[in-house]
Structure 1
Amino acid sequence: MGSVEASYTDSDIRFFLELFRGREDVWAKQWVGKDGAHGYSPQYSAFDENVLKKHLSGELTVGVYIIRLDNTVNFFVLDIDIKKEVFEKTLQSQDTA
């Protein structure tokens, strides 16, 4: 199956920026070292349209610090990691049901 390149309008970009508003003065940029080590480093600038476009195109992997300067949040994230074996067993049991 081939990949599909997504396109976003300026209106979409503004919507994403409004929806995923995080801390105003910093965002996180992923780095990968020559040895394969990886992590995130703070970028002390606004998370703006240019950063978001690079993220959506796959050029950058970024993170948003969700606690804003006024100690509020605009959204939350629930990250659930499921072992591959458990996921596959669940799919198999659904196929036989």
Structure 2
Amino acid sequence: MGKDEDLQLQLDAALAECARLRAENSRLKTLLGLAETEAVSPAESLPHEQKAPEIIVLQQGNLFTVTNRSSTEEKIALFRSLFRGREDVYAVRWEGKSGSSGYSPSCRNEWHKVFCRKPKIKCSQCEYRDLLPLTDQVILNHLTGKHIVGLYPLLSDETCQILAVDFDKASWRDDAVAFLQTCKEMGVPAALERSRSGNGGHVWIFFDRLVEASPARKY
């Protein structure tokens, strides 16, 4: 088999994995109650001999099952069990009139007539900066589409529990496939998603405990 054929097979495998992840993402949205219209229960959409998939979450040493019938609190706990980072601050996505976009730390005094001096003074230099914590309500608003928030994975002690690998060059498909293959060979579960722009991708790795950030980056 030639090199081009081998790369094509790897790309096809990656695209198939992307399709699987998109389907899984849709299923998780249903589990989290995020469908714009009332969703059909997974148990109702499957033949009687099959059982609806369940998500098992480990929290404080105890196992519990999350389904579409679970409480809002349990669904938020599912999200937080995967996406872990700083809880004293979070970022909010913004879009400018010129089409630019980005993320900035959420501040209680943002655009306050008295305290906020943007754009003359940067947020990092503002004496009235009052960062907001990452609460369950913030996560719920994110999951229901009221706003888009970002997580700060790096903790104050230079540890983290989640790793996002960014692929955004012209060769991002080949690079992502090679990275996923390496993860597979090393027995490391990894999930690939396409970036918001569609011109790149991210590979997510979730650790079962806190790890030093520096070795995680080098990985």
Q: Decide: shared fold, TM above 0.5.
A: yes
After TM superposition, the runs of 4+ consecutive aligned structure 1 residues lying more than 3 A away are: none
Q: Which residue of 2 is the match for residue 41 of structure 1?
A: 104
Is the CA contact (8 Å cut-off) linking 2:89 and 2:133 kept in structure 1? Answer: yes
Q: Give matches, 1:12-91, under 5 Å.
A: 12-43=75-106, 44-81=131-168
% identical aligned pairs? 38
Given residue 161 of structure 2, which amino acid in structure 1 is its aligned partner? N
Measured in 2, the distance between the counterparts of 1:82 and 1:56 equals 29
Post-superposition offset of 1:51: 1.0
Q: Which residue of 1 is the match for residue 202 of structure 2?
A: none
Q: Determine helix, strand or coil for the equivalent of 2:164.
A: coil
Question: What TM-score does the superposition give when structure 2 sets the normalisation length?
Answer: 0.33
Question: What TM-score does the superposition give when structure 1 sets the normalisation length?
Answer: 0.68
Measured in 1, the distance between the counterparts of 2:148 and 2:103 equals 9
Post-superposition offset of 1:35: 2.2
Post-superposition offset of 1:56: 1.0
Q: Structure with the greater relative contact order (CA < 8 A, sep ≥ 6): 1 or 2?
A: 1
Q: More strand per residue: 1 or 2?
A: 2
Number of residues of Structure 1 aligned to a counterpart in Structure 2: 82
Pairwise CA RMSD: 2.4
Tell me the alpha carbon deviations over residues 4-35 of structure 1, each in whole angstroms, 9 at most, x when there is no partner. Answer: 77406320101212321211321110011222
Structure 1: segments with no counterpart, 5+ residues: 87-97
Post-superposition offset of 1:69: 1.7
Counterparts in 2 of 1:25 and 1:79: CA distance versus 1, 3 Å: same
Tell me the alpha carbon deviations over residues 59-91 of structure 1, each in whole angstroms, 9 at most, x when there is no partner. Answer: 2111111101222101111233476xx7xxxxx
Structure 2: segments with no counterpart, 5+ residues: 1-25, 35-71, 107-130, 174-219
